[in-house]
Amino acid sequence: MRLAIITEYDGTDFVGFQSQVNGRAVADVLGKAASELYKQDIKVVGCSRTDAGVHARGHLSHMDVPFEIPEDKIPLAMNAILPDDVAVVRAFYVDGDFSARFSNYGKRYIYRVYFGRVRHPLYSRYAYFDSYDLDIDKMRRAAEYFAGEHDFEAFCAAGSTADNYVRRIFAVTVRESREDPRLIEIEVAGEAFLYNMVRIIAGTLVEVGEGKISPDEVGGIIDSKDRKRAGRTLPPEGLTLEEVFLEPVK
């Protein structure tokens, strides 16, 4: 039988979700815990790789298990085995042809930026620090250009294996966090993403906020398909996979 799980993890001490030759991967940690619980080798398949240092609040995976445990008991059983920086928050049984990678309808990410003259150590694991006084209104205006289906080659990092750069973005929004007005949340929701795409979108919006790029330039940057014209790739610690859509997005 096939089981889907939603996991939350702090990506700081992981090399990413996917198994690596060297380094601690989320998939390996989950697989080890599941194998111990079910007393046989269990392989965990994730919806996305997530890079080293990237966090998740709602990462989707699936695995084939040999016997049934009540859905509400699985998180408790898994979390008793898992280390403190990863937890199963939900588990549910799915059809045998369900794929965490191919049966979802998109993802929602948030990139967090803390700005000010003095860095904030309590945010350092989960937000990028920027010493500029960012103009949030300009960032919001620029964010509107990303919605829709576009060729996002300008927002794809070198090393990508993609042969098609067209992706559909549902929305990009910029807001102040309820926790702190200097903590900005850049939310990006879409069907699929290119390599480092969200971090480059966030980097472009930050450069708009810094005054280095005009909000009205963003449409032209998208159309140019030129990576050199877009903003910098922000580091991984500010990025969190918040949600994987299990239903079509209207």
CB of 100 within 8 A of CB of 4?
yes
What tokens appear for 121 in the block?
């150590």
**Contact yes or no for 213/176 (Cβ under 8 A):** no
Q: Output b/e per residue, 206-236; b: 16+ Cβ within 10 A.
A: bbbbbeebebebbeebbeebeeebbbebbeb
7 - beta bridge partners? 59, 88
**The amino acid at 128:** Y
Phi, psi of 43 (to 5 degrees): -100, 130
- Catalytic residue, chosen from 10, 13, 28, 51, is 51
Q: Is 85 a catalytic residue?
A: no
d(CA 226, CA 223): 8
Identify which of 242, 230, 2, 206 has the alpha carbon closest to the alpha carbon of residue 114.
Answer: 206
d(CA 141, CA 22) in angstroms, rounded, equals 42
- Supply the residues annotated as catalytic: 51
